[in-house]
Amino acid sequence: MSSPDNDNKEIKVYVRWMVRRDFPEVLAIEQACFEFPWKEEDFIHCLQQRNCIGMVAEYEGHVVGFMIYEVPKNRIHLLNIATAPEFQRRGVAGQMIQKLVSKLVNQRRSRIVLEVRETNLPALVFFRTLGFRATVVIKNFYEDMNEDAYVLQYRLHNQDDSNFTPSNRISVRIA
C-alpha cells in the first residue's frame, strides 16, 4: 500500500461492512489511536449483538479506518471510530461519518449520537465541523480515568423551534 502524500491531500476511500479478516488491521488502528483501546474480545462481543454494525474504510486494498455503531429504534449510536495515524486529516473519518448520515434517511432515523472524552479536543473539533453539537456532559463516564464525556449529536433535520413557522393552520412536528 502506498502512503498518501504528506500534503494532507484528501483521499477517496471505499466504506464497506467489516468482516472477520479485517480484524488484524482494525486492531492495529485501535492500538495506535487510543490510550485505552478495545481488545479483540470487545469487538467480537459488540459485533455479536443484533443491532451492532462494523464498517471499514478501505484504501488500495487495506483498511485505513473503521467505525462501530449500534442502531437503536430512532438513532444511530456511534461507539467507536478511528483512522490509521498515517491517514488522519485526509478525509477518511469524514467519509465514514457521511456514510452514517446517508443511513439516517434510509433507516428512518433522525440523529447520530456519540460520547467523546472531554480531553479529546481533536475529536470534539472534528465532530463540530461536521455539524455535531454537544448536548450533555456525563460525569465520570470513562471509569478508567474518572473522566467526563460530552454527548455529541447530529440531527438530520436540525430545526430550531424558535424559527419554526407552520405553513398552514394545522402543523405537526416530528422529532
Model confidence pLDDT, tens digit, residues 29-60: 999 999 889 999 999 999 999 999 999 999 99
d(CA 63, CA 152): 26
Tell me, yes or no, whether 4 lies in a domain. Answer: no
3-state SS, residue 25: helix
User: What average pLDDT does the structure give for the chain?
Assistant: 86
**In a domain? residue 105:** yes
Total domain count for the chain? 1
Q: Which residues constitute the domain of residue 54? A: 14-157
What CATH number does the domain containing 21 carry? 3.40.630.30
Nearest partner of 79 among 53, 104, 56, judged by Cα: 53
Asked if residue 85 is part of any domain, the answer here is yes
Total Cβ atoms within 10 A of residue 133 = 13
For residue 162, pLDDT beyond 60 = no
In a domain, 87, yes or no: yes
The helix/strand/coil state of 94 is helix
Report phi then psi at 139, rounded to 5. -70, 135
Residue 162 lies in a domain: no
The reply to whether 83 falls in a domain is yes
In a domain, 77, yes or no: yes
Q: Are 29 and 83 in contact (CB under 8 A)?
A: yes
Q: Could you tell me which of 98, 13, 94 has the C-alpha nearest to residue 56?
A: 13
Encode pLDDT of 71-111 as tens digits: 988 899 999 999 999 999 999 999 999 999 998 877 778 89
